[in-house]
Amino acid sequence: MQCPYCNCKESKVIDSRHTDSTSVRRRRECENCKKRFTTYERIEFAQIMVIKRDGSRQPFDRDKIKYGLLRACEKRPISSQSIEDVIKNIENELSRKFIEEIETNKIGDMVMRELRNLDEVAYVRFASVYKQFNDINNFVKELEKILIEKGSETNE
């Protein structure tokens, strides 16, 4: 592992910890300058190709999901750990399905399902962009779905 301070290629691992089921945090010390730095190792899943709306294909990018989640959760009481958990849930679901290609709308549906359980306001924000609401009626219909489901949950 190359030192970020002096670019030496020799370092030793001082401490290793599992951060979750798919990654390891390693504390390292450079053999040359003796400065310490942290690295993360993550399981690399088979490359999944995402089929865009226009038919083009791109490699799956967790950062695009994270960006959408951050926008939807802006100014909401949602921790960054909760957002990471949503992304990990989606990645784990994709890897369990052993798929090579997936349409963007299926990924969007997965994000919406996770957001619906996390925060209703963030869910509606994400849905308004993802479903491309072009008028207030579409927005109201989505809110009505949430209210109906909430009403059936309280009656059970």
Consecutive H or E run containing 66: helix 62-72
Total number of domains constituting the chain: 2
Tokens representing 50 are 């995402």
Whether pLDDT at 155 is above 70: no
Whether residues 24 and 62 share a domain: the answer is no
- Any idea how long the chain is? 156
Tell me: the pLDDT tens digits for 87-127? Answer: 989 988 888 887 889 999 999 999 999 998 899 899 888 98
In a domain? residue 33? yes
Res. 75 pLDDT band, cuts 50 70 90? very high
Q: Are residues 87 and 108 in the same domain?
A: yes
Confidence grade of residue 11 (pLDDT, cut at 50, 70, 90): very high
156 versus 69: the higher-pLDDT residue is 69
Q: What is the dihedral of CA 71, 73, 75, 81, to 10 degrees?
A: -120
**3-class DSSP state of 47:** coil
| 125 shares a domain with 71 | yes
Q: Is residue 103 part of a domain?
A: yes
| pLDDT above 90: residue 148 | no
> What tokens appear for 148 in the block?
């109906």
Residue 141 lies in a domain: yes
In a domain, 104, yes or no: yes
| Domain range enclosing 69 | 49-155
2 within a domain of the structure (yes/no) = no
Identify the band that residue 156 occupies on the pLDDT scale cut at 50, 70 and 90: low
- Are 38 and 53 contained in the same domain? no
**Taking the alpha carbons of 47, 98, 130, 22 in that order, is the dihedral positive or negative?**
negative
Quick check: 88 and 22 in contact, CB under 8 A?
yes
pLDDT digits (tens, 9 = 90+) for 17-33: 987 767 899 999 999 99
Residue 6 has pLDDT above 90, yes or no: yes
Residues 27, 62, single domain; the answer is: no
Is the domain of 25 the same as that of 79? no
Identify residue 80 by its one-letter amino acid code.
S
Residue 25 lies in a domain: yes
**113 shares its domain with 91:** yes
**Measured distance CA(30)–CA(8) in Å, rounded:** 7
